[in-house]
Amino acid sequence: MANLDWIDTFKPIARGEIVAPTLVDSSTGDIMGDDETKKFKLIGTGIYMHVDEADGGGILFWTGSKYEWYHIE
């Protein structure tokens, strides 16, 4: 992906921060909070990205072997 102009916010998330994706009820679509089973301590700086129109975003981070994306509401 070469054009990231559609992303409204880029913000660094410091190494050592604990991040978790948003847990969403698959039946209702209701936000349940953080998915405690997937909490992860960042081993490097993460990148928070947010799109205003979607009222959501996520964190891109390195696991030590690959990049992962956690959706954050």
Q: What is the pLDDT of residues 13-36, one digit of tens each?
A: 999 999 999 998 989 989 999 999
Over range 52-59, report the average pLDDT. 82
Q: What is the pLDDT of residue 1?
A: 66
Q: What is the pLDDT of residues 36-46, one digit of tens each?
A: 999 989 999 99
* 6 or 73, greater pLDDT: 6
56's tokens:
């959501």
The DSSP result for 4-54, as a single string, is -TT--EEEEE-TT-EE-PEEE-TTT--EEEE-GGG-EE-SS-EEEEEETTT
Q: What is the pLDDT of residue 6?
A: 85
Mean pLDDT of the chain: 90
